[in-house]
Amino acid sequence: MLGVCYYPEHWPEAWWAKDARRMRDMGISFVRIGEFAWSRLEPRRGAFDFGWLDRAMDTLGAAGLKVVLGTPTATPPKWLMDEYPEIAPVDQQGHVRGFGSRRHYTFSSEIWWRESARIVEIIAKRYGEHPALDGWQTDNEYGCHDTTQSWGPEDLKAFRRWLRLRYQSTDQLNEAWGNVFWSMEVNSFEDVVLPNLTVTETNPAARLDFWRFQSGQVAAYDKMQCEIIRKHSPGRWITHNFMGFVNDFDHWKVGENLDVASWDSYPIGFVEKFPFSQEEKNRWAETSHPDIAPFHHDLYRGVGRGRFWVMEQQPGPVNWAPWNPVPKPGMVRLWTWEALAHGAEVVSYFRWRQAPFAQEQMHAGLNLPGSDELSAGGREAEITGREIIETGELPATEQAAVAIVYDYETYWASVIQPQGRDFQYHDLAFRWYEAVRKLGVNVDFVPPGAPLDGYRLVLVPSLMMVSDAALQAFSAAKGIVLYGPRSGSRTRQFAIPENLPPGTLAALTGVRVTQVSSLRPGLEDAVCGSVSGAAIRWREYVETDGEVLARFGNDDPALTAKGLHHYLACWPDQDLLQQTVAHLAAKAGLETIALPDHIRLRERGGVTFAFNYGTEVWASPAVGTVILGEADVKPQAVAAWKD
């Protein structure tokens, strides 16, 4: 189904009923409202104005629309910031990040938690059983604008408390952090300072613990809101709208609080955000890269334990990227169908009408600013709404044959100690995902330690710290497993394992890493054997008691195998990565198809979808009945067929 984000407080009340009717006529079923409305709901402490929201929900419900109500905690009002200025976050340089936009709070403030709980409970009590209410969204885009971490007095106080519970004594803290180095030992938890504003780099173990602490704060804060909502709104589901390429907190942990995950899909904007080459950015500027949206669809389907929404779908140019081009005709429709093919229950567009004022006035909506005229994206959404009805209900999404283990702590650790400037975990994981998708194979994302039953190929792009649960899952795996560089390279205390990397993975992989080398741009080490290509960015010098499938130019092992477990001792270039994944997919007995780089397939319960991001018609291998589009898939078009 389709949804839309709507802000009744932005428009004359006389427009609401007509807007609601037009939404229904377009095939829209869900409307998200309220996530930024605190100042309108409580303009002064204790002085509430619910009348407008009562009428808005009644109006939307009367039109047959289902409401998703957001808690308004992403935008604490000015009067609250004036009462309690300590709520404001502090950046890593010690500067207060003040009022005037959004997400201006630190998760560590006890006062902020109290005020958040107060407003969430008031709203949940009032609207928890409203007949139009279908579900809830907690807050809005945790971590957006670099707001997971804060570096102020409230954060230091909470961090010290967290460390006391974790380590019990400063002796254990000093040992875990290796504080004997550079005389960093402390005699009291009150001696602990935040890991910033130092002369040179801060202790990596302290930084990792600070990141763990702040990530845990996000999850606990979200859990607090969810518990209040469930108390007063039984039978309604709860989600949070995550973002693309934001890894500052553990989404798996927040997902444990939720009934369904959701995310905000801005495929073209993310082209500018991701470390693509200029050539790639130019190529995909008006369509997005074919794997940006699908990567996150599959990730958040995993975070939601099989259930996810797209809460905000890009309907046209956005306002926040360095460059904001208009999507090519057809792309809004393509992105919508692509999300549904990957299992989305609802695709919700942002927003109903373009705002003619404030920070997002350059951000497109389904309607032009201040009018009832559909935008180009709005017309595509209208077409898609009709197609969804004509196509009918899609089959359930099934477990994929390939799993990618995605780990947020590895992202944090690689930021803390990259060793090479361009070693970026999310870039590595994305490229591994891209390599699988180019073979036309479905992918699931799983957290470290999740059972791997039923997966014929398990990809671990990098897993720097291997938990006991993860080691047990890998040991029990019945499919092919491939580990990438730096896997098992650190203990939980951010130290090199005594037996050298890959630490606890050594028995499974038969590998021992003795040296690592970061390769600056332009340097590479050739690889040849069962697969060929080159190591770029990073390579490792390994010893192995297993089989060597490929070697570096100096005859050192590059790709090894010991039973089901394989180790790739480098950051592979495109050729090496594609050949390695294809080789292991064949070894796992998977059916693959070598796709052009602008074509992607997604199979959903016997229905196969094809998406064309390119400039040429693609003759699909459609077998069976075409239920959407044409077998010859035109540029920026989608096709689907049943077996």
Tell me the pLDDT tens digit for each residue of 468-478: 999 999 999 99
Of 603, 637, 608, which is closest to residue 625 (Cα–Cα)?
A: 608
Q: What positions carry a catalytic annotation?
A: 141, 312
pLDDT in tens, 180-218: 999 999 999 999 999 999 999 999 999 999 999 999 999
pLDDT in tens, 514-563: 999 999 999 999 999 999 999 999 999 999 999 999 999 999 999 999 99
Residue 643: pLDDT band (50, 70, 90) is confident
The b/e string for 122-151 (b: 16+ C-beta within 10 A; e otherwise) is bbbeebbebebbbbbbbbbbbbbeebbbbb
> Under DSSP, is residue 256 helix (H, G, I), strand (E, B) or coil?
coil
Of 345, 332, 362, 265, which is closest to residue 306 (Cα–Cα)?
A: 345
The average pLDDT across 407-422 equals 98
DSSP states along 266-305: -HHHHHHHS---HHHHHHTTTT--TTHHHHHHHHHHHHTT
Helix axis angle, 331-341 relative to 376-391, nearest 10°? Answer: 40
Q: How far apart are CA 14 and CA 7, in angstroms?
A: 14
**What pLDDT does residue 564 have?**
98
Q: How many CA atoms lie within 13 A of 562 on its CB side?
A: 18
**What pLDDT does residue 39 have?**
98
Measured CA to CA in angstroms, residue 508 lies from 172, 366, 458, 577, 629 at distances of 31, 53, 14, 21, 47
What's the token pair of residue 75? 């935008």
Residue 132 pLDDT exceeds 90: yes
Residue 623 pLDDT exceeds 90: no
Backbone dihedral angles phi then psi of residue 611, each to the nearest 5 degrees: -130, 130
Backbone dihedral angles phi then psi of residue 126, each to the nearest 5 degrees: -75, -40
Are 542 and 513 in contact, with CB atoms under 8 Å apart?
A: yes
Are 253 and 148 in contact, with CB atoms under 8 Å apart?
A: no
The average pLDDT across 427-444 equals 98
- Global confidence as pTM: 0.97
What's the token pair of residue 567? 């180790």
The average pLDDT across 157-178 equals 98
Determine the residue type at 262.
Answer: S
SS3 track for 161-204: HHHHHHHCCHHHHHHHHCCCHHHCCCCCHHHCCCCCCCCCCCCH
Task: Say which DSSP state 505 is in.
Answer: G
Give the other-Cβ count within 10 Å of 503's Cβ.
Answer: 22
Task: Say which DSSP state 8 is in.
Answer: G
Q: Which residues pair with 5 in a beta bridge?
A: 32
Which value, to the nearest 10 degrees, does the dihedral of the CA atoms of residues 96, 98, 102, 108 take? 50
Mean pLDDT over all residues of the chain?
A: 97
**Percentage of the chain lying above the pLDDT 70 cut:** 100
Which residues fall within 8 angstroms of residue 386, CB to CB, at 6 or more apart?
A: 27
**What pLDDT does residue 289 have?**
98
The average pLDDT across 81-85 equals 98
> Under DSSP, is residue 573 helix (H, G, I), strand (E, B) or coil?
coil
DSSP states along 54-94: HHHHHHHHHTTPEEEEEPSTTS--HHHHHH-GGGS-B-TTS
Residue 622 pLDDT exceeds 90: no
The b/e string for 309-324 (b: 16+ C-beta within 10 A; e otherwise) is bbbbbbbbbbeeeeeb
DSSP states along 326-387: PPPTTHHHHHHHHHHHTT-S-EEES-SB--SSSTTTTS--SB-TTSS-B-HHHHHHHHHHHH
Instruction: Report CA torsion sign: 148, 149, 153, 154.
Output: positive
Q: How far apart are CA 273 and CA 339, in angstroms?
A: 20
For residue 111, how far is the Cα from the chain centroid?
29
Q: How far apart are CA 209 and CA 213, in angstroms?
A: 6
> Under DSSP, is residue 545 helix (H, G, I), strand (E, B) or coil?
coil
For residue 295, how far is the Cα from the chain centroid?
8
Which residues fall within 8 angstroms of residue 331, CB to CB, at 6 or more apart?
A: 267, 268, 286, 287, 288, 380, 636
**What pLDDT does residue 370 have?**
87
pLDDT in tens, 16-35: 999 999 999 999 999 999 99
Q: Which residues pair with 633 in a beta bridge?
A: 618
